[in-house]
């Protein structure tokens, strides 16, 4: 026989009531006349009304408030009447006027003693969920639409004030300097918002400044008496604000980035709903503010120079283009000043990058100080700055440029050393020198280079002539690049002869020659500097080493006695760590030894303090290469440097040689150079010997080697062979 569990006894009324009262939902029974006949304790807890305050009244009368959706209520009524039930969300108000979002289910309760048409309503408090949902959706939508942060924050304030009409909400940001910046305070008088702007956070800075400072919520129940408000009281009390509760908005690392505050019109504490509202909002505000500052940071990185904070080229170009449109419309001129610091690289290299950075920041500051409202400024690259001066005539531009040069040239202290920075400025005028910002930039840049090469610390106005030269130079650069890749450069060789036996070679100097298909012979004095500036010189040098080595090996293979070949090296190649090795490799490819070439360097290489230069020189010396100091007497001519480097030969510059017969000073200097070189064990090669007078004087004063037109011009390889054959009878070597 199946065993049935014992049937539970039916619930007593009292038990049923207790169960209903225990529910968190509000349960309401109404009769056919829509009058309330029963509410549970959940109703009282949710809305604050006791049964005696509700019974016999219509639910609408009790719970609808200023922001309730009257249409919804009507449609509920209609629905219940038509279909007998309804489910919907609605905003209702509690006894103290507090809004409550409720999810409402109404079902007919069937006939009872009071007749047909009664209903049972079950209301669930969904205020928080609803609020969260509404706020989150709105704020996220706002972010997607790229609403400005103040607008988003105002939206949060208004939404909160809708739910809790007794509060006035404000959102402030804390900036990098720790100052408060109002983002939104739609319910506060504008004068108060303005007064809040720039208030520093601190231990007694009202509710918000203190909350940010302590990084914890601050409740001030009475602004009139709380000492935290001593400095800010008057304004707020006058406009009726009596209490303020402020909470810090924290970023993902927990640092305060803003405050979210509730103001009250009477002295009081926040209540439970307020606390929940704040919990929800703080998170949304943090997300929005952090996102905004990330945006700003990206903008800053994209458009501003990190070191000086000045606009960068991209920002300058766009704002300058707009400014030019404006000037064009007004029919006014403008000026573009292109400024480049003189010898900035030296500061960077000799004193380190920290010193260079400090100098750049100071220059940026000095440039900014002289600006007028409509002027634009930017840092283009390492030590290049530009200014766009609006409404500026040529004379005014020159005046301003002089003032800038003067301001820059004030002494300053960098890491304990006094500097007097100098700059060169090129000026291009709008619209006469160009009507787009790119043209103006290019022309002002050309003018600046002209200023630099004329004499430093100066300024130069752009001219059409300058533009022509710049274009020629650009064409030269392109053609040279082509020549290098076509291998269409050649080398000529100039004999260097022994004074004691002018028919005998000491060696030959390789000199680069460029025969351009249209332009004809381009002199090295023209294309070598272009190669240096355009970064082509290293490639040229490597080619030259290879070609000179190949030629020397070929001569020797053909039985020609060429003791060595001298090659001219550019200082720039010494900045490459692999240079010494590359020289060795070139020789090895052609079976030569280090003693077969002489490496001509200039005094600038000797003076170059860069470790890489010294390492290359050391490595070359170690491999047994001989260094020859070219153009001796023209540069720094610091004899004291001579013994520091492994120099084995000095080339006395032709300027001395050519003055020998006319100038006693040239003779005296030459005598001392010869004697110093002799005592240091160096060979002297006199360059540019053109006359027998010069030859005889040099010979008489013990100069061992000579080079010049008197003995032979630079010649193509086959003519060198002819020259060698012509020097018969050849002495035995
Ligand atoms: P540099 O090294 O001082 O070369 C000597 C220059 O003086 C050569 O001019 C040569 O033709 C010229 N010269 C020689 N003897 C006489 C003379 O008796 N009278 C006169 N008036 N001039 C004489 P060039 O070939 O025009 O070279 C000029 C400069 O270009 C060279 O001066 C050198 O600094 C540079 N250079 C030439 N070839 C190269 C190269 O392959 N590499 C590098 N880095 N520089 C080179
Ligand atoms: Ca030379
Ligand atoms: Ca020379």
Mean pLDDT value across the chain: 89
Give 3-state DSSP helix, strand, coil % of the chain, rounded to 5.
45, 25, 30
Same domain, 324 and 446: yes
**Is 477 a member of any domain?**
no
φ, ψ of residue 594 in degrees (nearest 5): -55, -35
Q: Is the CB of 547 under 6 A from ligand 1?
A: no
Q: Is the CB of 714 under 6 A from ligand 1?
A: yes
């609020």: which residue's tokens?
Answer: 131
Same domain, 617 and 715: yes
238/218 Cα distance (integer angstroms): 21
Atom of ligand 1 nearest to the CA of 492: 25
Q: Please calculate the CA angle 365-368-373 and round it to the nearest 5 degrees.
A: 160
pLDDT band at 112 (very low <50, low <70, confident <90, very high): low
Q: Is the CB of 502 under 6 A from ligand 1?
A: no
The closest ligand to the CA of 493 turns out to be: 1
Q: Is the CB of 110 under 6 A from ligand 1?
A: no
Q: What is the DSSP string of 257-303?
A: EEEEEEEESSS----HHHHHHHHHHHHHHHHHHHHHHHHHHHHHHHH
pLDDT for 508 equals 98
pLDDT for 2 equals 54
pLDDT for 159 equals 86
Q: Is the CB of 528 under 6 A from ligand 1?
A: yes
**Is 6 a member of any domain?**
no
Q: Could you read off the pLDDT of 645-671 as tens digits, one per residue?
A: 889 999 999 988 999 989 998 898 899
Atom of ligand 1 nearest to the CA of 531: 44
Q: Could you read off the pLDDT of 133-148 as tens digits, one per residue?
A: 878 888 888 888 889 9
pLDDT for 77 equals 67
Tokens of 513: 């020659």
Q: Is the CB of 570 under 6 A from ligand 1?
A: yes
Atom of ligand 1 nearest to the CA of 631: 3
The closest ligand to the CA of 712 turns out to be: 1
pLDDT, mean of residues 22-48: 91
Same domain, 327 and 425: yes
pLDDT at 115 over 60: no
Which stretch, 66-80, 102-116, 246-260, 407-421, has highest mean pLDDT? 246-260
Beta bridge pairs of residue 567: 599
440/430 Cα distance (integer angstroms): 7
pLDDT at 731 over 50: no
Beta bridge pairs of residue 494: 509
Query: How many angstroms does the Cα of residue 696 sit away from the middle of ligand 2?
Result: 23
Same domain, 152 and 112: no
Tokens of 181: 């910046």
Nearest to 322 by CA among 429, 440, 441, 436: 436
178/211 Cα distance (integer angstroms): 12
Q: Whose CA is nearest to atom 16 of ligand 1?
A: 688
Same domain, 120 and 143: no
Q: Is the CB of 712 under 6 A from ligand 1?
A: no
CATH for 43: 3.30.450.20
Burial 532-547 (b: 16+ CB within 10 A, else e): bebebbbebbbbbbbb
Q: Could you read off the pLDDT of 516-548 as tens digits, one per residue?
A: 999 999 999 999 999 998 999 999 999 999 999
Q: What is the DSSP string of 96-115?
A: TS-EEEEEEEEEEEEEETTE
Domain end call among 241, 273, 302: 302
Angle, helices 579-589/537-557, rounded to nearest 10 degrees:
30
Atom of ligand 1 nearest to the CA of 544: 41
Q: Is the CB of 521 under 6 A from ligand 1?
A: no
Q: Could you read off the pLDDT of 194-247 as tens digits, one per residue?
A: 888 999 999 999 999 999 999 999 999 999 999 999 988 888 888 889 999 999
Nearest to 606 by CA among 564, 548, 649: 649
**Is 396 a member of any domain?**
yes
pLDDT at 1 over 60: no
Domain end call among 436, 462, 488: 462
338/443 Cα distance (integer angstroms): 9
pLDDT at 729 over 60: no
pLDDT band at 732 (very low <50, low <70, confident <90, very high): very low
The closest ligand to the CA of 543 turns out to be: 1
pLDDT at 430 over 90: yes
Query: How many angstroms does the Cα of residue 678 sit away from the middle of ligand 1?
Result: 25
Q: Could you read off the pLDDT of 282-327 as tens digits, one per residue?
A: 999 999 999 998 888 888 888 899 899 999 999 999 999 999 999 9
Q: Is the CB of 706 under 6 A from ligand 1?
A: no
Q: Whose CA is nearest to atom 12 of ligand 1?
A: 688
Same domain, 291 and 380: no
CATH for 689: 3.20.20.450
**Is 68 a member of any domain?**
yes
Of the residues 568, 650, 689, which should be mutated to test ligand 1's pocket, given the most ligand atoms within 8 Å of the CB? 568
Domain that holds residue 106: 13-125
The H or E element containing residue 489 is strand 489-498
Same domain, 282 and 319: no
Q: Give one word for 146, left, alpha or beta, with left for phi > 0 and alpha for psi -120 to 50.
A: left
Contact between residue 491 and residue 555 where contact means Cβ atoms under 8 Å apart: no
Q: Whose CA is nearest to atom 19 of ligand 1?
A: 688
pLDDT, mean of residues 556-582: 95
The closest ligand to the CA of 529 turns out to be: 1
């040099």: which residue's tokens?
Answer: 698
pLDDT, mean of residues 71-92: 74
pLDDT at 123 over 60: yes
pLDDT, mean of residues 360-366: 95
The closest ligand to the CA of 536 turns out to be: 1
Torsion of CA 149, 155, 158, 164, to 10 degrees: -100
337/370 Cα distance (integer angstroms): 13
Query: How many angstroms does the Cα of residue 658 sit away from the middle of ligand 1?
Result: 15
Are β-strands 243-250 and 218-220 bridged in parallel, bridged antiparallel, or unpaired? antiparallel
Which stretch, 10-14, 56-60, 107-111, 433-437, has highest mean pLDDT? 433-437
**Is 537 a member of any domain?**
yes
pLDDT for 352 equals 85
Of the residues 480, 497, 523, 524, which should be mutated to test ligand 1's pocket, given the most ligand atoms within 8 Å of the CB? 524
Residue 574 carries which DSSP code? G
Same domain, 600 and 637: yes
Q: Is the CB of 511 under 6 A from ligand 1?
A: yes
Q: Is the CB of 490 under 6 A from ligand 1?
A: no
pLDDT at 116 over 70: no
Same domain, 275 and 331: no
Positions of E strands within 145-290: 168-174, 180-184, 218-220, 243-250, 256-264
Atom of ligand 1 nearest to the CA of 570: 44
Q: Is the CB of 117 under 6 A from ligand 1?
A: no
Q: Is the CB of 688 under 6 A from ligand 1?
A: yes
Same domain, 613 and 548: yes
In this structure, the chain runs to a length of 733
Query: How many angstroms does the Cα of residue 693 sit away from the middle of ligand 1?
Result: 22
Tokens of 457: 């610390």
Q: Is the CB of 630 under 6 A from ligand 1?
A: yes
**Is 541 a member of any domain?**
yes
Contact between residue 124 and residue 42 where contact means Cβ atoms under 8 Å apart: no
Domain end call among 74, 94, 125: 125
Query: How many angstroms does the Cα of residue 511 sit away from the middle of ligand 1?
Result: 6
């400014």: which residue's tokens?
Answer: 323
Task: Give the whole-number percent of the chain exceeding pLDDT 70.
Answer: 95
Q: Is the CB of 709 under 6 A from ligand 1?
A: yes
Query: How many angstroms does the Cα of residue 486 sit away from the middle of ligand 3?
Result: 28
Q: Is the CB of 512 under 6 A from ligand 1?
A: yes
Tally of domains in the chain? 4
The H or E element containing residue 234 is helix 233-238
**Is 64 a member of any domain?**
yes
Of the residues 508, 510, 511, which should be mutated to test ligand 1's pocket, given the most ligand atoms within 8 Å of the CB? 511
Q: Is the dihedral of CA 226, 228, 230, 233 positive or negative?
A: negative
**Is 478 a member of any domain?**
no
Beta bridge pairs of residue 184: 171
The CB density around residue 195, as the number of other CB atoms within 10 Å, is 16
Q: How far is CA 187 from CA 165, 262, 642, in A?
A: 11, 10, 81
187/535 Cα distance (integer angstroms): 64
Beta bridge pairs of residue 634: none
Label each residue of 632-687 as H, E or C: ECCCCCCHHHHCCCCEEEEEECHHHHHHCCCCHHHHHHHHHHHHHHHHHCCEEEEC
Query: How many angstroms does the Cα of residue 524 sit away from the middle of ligand 3?
Result: 12
Same domain, 103 and 204: no
Contact between residue 126 and residue 101 where contact means Cβ atoms under 8 Å apart: yes
- Poorest-confidence range of 80-89, 194-203, 363-372, 687-696? 80-89
Atom of ligand 1 nearest to the CA of 600: 2
Q: Is the CB of 571 under 6 A from ligand 1?
A: no
Residue 164 carries which DSSP code? -
205/215 Cα distance (integer angstroms): 13
Query: How many angstroms does the Cα of residue 651 sit away from the middle of ligand 3?
Result: 6
Same domain, 627 and 653: yes
CATH for 186: 3.30.450.40
Q: Could you read off the pLDDT of 385-398 as tens digits, one per residue?
A: 999 999 999 999 99
Query: How many angstroms does the Cα of residue 522 sit away from the middle of ligand 1?
Result: 13
Task: Give the whole-number percent of the chain exceeding pLDDT 90.
Answer: 63
The CB density around residue 456, as the number of other CB atoms within 10 Å, is 14
pLDDT band at 638 (very low <50, low <70, confident <90, very high): low
φ, ψ of residue 499 in degrees (nearest 5): -60, -40
pLDDT band at 466 (very low <50, low <70, confident <90, very high): confident
CATH for 319: 3.30.70.270
């Amino acid at each position: 026989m199946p065993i049935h569990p014992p049937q539970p006894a039916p619930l007593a009324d009292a038990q049923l009531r207790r169960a209903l009262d225990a529910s968190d939902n509000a349960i309401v029974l109404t009769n056919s006349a829509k009058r309330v006949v029963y509410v549970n304790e959940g109703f009282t807890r949710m809305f604050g009304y006791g049964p005696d305050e509700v019974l016999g009244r219509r639910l609408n009368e009790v719970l609808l408030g200023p922001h309730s959706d009257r249409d919804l209520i009507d449609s509920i009524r209609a629905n219940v009447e038509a279909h007998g039930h309804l489910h919907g969300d609605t905003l209702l108000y509690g006894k103290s006027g507090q809004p409550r979002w409720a999810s409402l289910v109404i079902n007919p309760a069937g006939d009872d003693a009071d007749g047909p048409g009664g209903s049972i309503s079950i209301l669930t408090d969904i205020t928080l969920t609803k609020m969260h949902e509404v706020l989150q959706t709105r704020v996220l939508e706002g972010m997607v639409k790229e609403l400005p942060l103040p607008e988003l924050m105002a939206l949060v304030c208004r939404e909160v004030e809708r739910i809790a009409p007794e509060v006035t909400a404000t959102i402030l940001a804390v900036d990098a300097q720790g100052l408060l910046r109002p983002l939104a305070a739609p319910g506060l008088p504008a004068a108060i918002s303005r007064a809040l702007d720039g208030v520093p956070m601190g231990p007694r800075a009202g509710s918000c400044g203190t909350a940010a400072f302590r990084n914890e919520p601050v409740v001030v129940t009475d602004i009139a008496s709380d000492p935290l408000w001593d400095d800010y009281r008057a304004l707020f009390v006058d406009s009726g604000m009596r209490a303020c509760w402020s909470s810090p908005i924290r970023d993902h690392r927990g640092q305060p980035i803003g405050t979210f505050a509730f103001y009250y019109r009477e002295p009081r504490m926040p209540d439970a709903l307020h606390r929940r509202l704040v919990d929800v909002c703080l998170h949304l505000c943090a997300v929005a503010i952090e996102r905004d500052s990330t945006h700003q940071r990206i903008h800053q990185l994209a458009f501003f120079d990190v070191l000086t904070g000045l606009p960068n080229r991209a920002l300058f170009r766009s704002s300058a283009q707009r400014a030019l449109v404006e000037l064009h419309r007004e029919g006014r001129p403008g000026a573009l000043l292109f400024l480049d610091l003189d010898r900035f690289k030296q500061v960077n290299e000799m004193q380190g990058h920290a010193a260079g950075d400090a100098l750049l920041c100071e220059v940026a500051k000095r440039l900014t100080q002289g600006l007028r409202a409509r002027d634009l400024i930017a840092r283009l690259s390492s030590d290049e700055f530009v200014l766009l001066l609006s409404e500026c005539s040529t004379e005014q531009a020159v005046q301003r440029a002089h003032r800038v040069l003067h301001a820059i040239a004030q002494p300053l202290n960098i890491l304990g050393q006094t500097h007097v920075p100098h700059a060169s400025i090129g000026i291009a005028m709008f619209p006469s020198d160009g009507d787009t910002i790119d043209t103006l930039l290019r022309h002002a840049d050309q003018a600046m280079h002209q200023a630099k090469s004329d004499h430093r610390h100066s300024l130069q106005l752009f001219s059409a002539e300058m533009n022509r030269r710049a274009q020629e130079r650009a064409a030269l650069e392109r053609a040279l690049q082509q020549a290098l890749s076509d291998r269409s450069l050649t080398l000529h060789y100039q004999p260097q002869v022994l004074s004691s036996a002018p028919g005998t070679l000491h060696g030959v100097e390789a000199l680069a020659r460029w025969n351009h298909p249209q332009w004809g012979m381009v002199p090295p004095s023209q294309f070598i500097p272009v190669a240096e500036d355009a970064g082509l010189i290293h490639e040229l040098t490597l080619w030259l080493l290879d070609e000179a080595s190949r030629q020397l090996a070929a001569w020797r293979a053909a039985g020609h006695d060429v003791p060595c070949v001298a090659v001219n090296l550019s200082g720039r190649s010494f900045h490459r760590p692999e240079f010494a090795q590359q020289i060795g490799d070139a020789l090895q490819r052609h079976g030569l030894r280090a003693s077969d070439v002489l490496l001509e360097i200039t005094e600038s290489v000797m003076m170059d303090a860069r470790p890489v230069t010294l390492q290359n020189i050391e490595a070359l010396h170690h491999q047994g290469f001989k260094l020859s100091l070219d153009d001796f007497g023209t540069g720094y001519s610091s004899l004291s440097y001579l013994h520091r480097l492994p120099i084995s030969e000095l080339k006395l510059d032709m300027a001395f040689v050519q003055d020998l017969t006319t100038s006693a000073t040239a003779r005296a200097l030459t005598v001392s150079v010869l004697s110093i070189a002799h005592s240091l064990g160096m060979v002297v090669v006199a360059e540019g010997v053109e006359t027998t007078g010069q030859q005889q004087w040099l010979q008489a004063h013990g100069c061992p080697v000579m080079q010049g037109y008197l003995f032979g011009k630079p010649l193509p390889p086959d003519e060198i062979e002819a020259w060698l054959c012509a020097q018969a009878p050849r002495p035995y070597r």
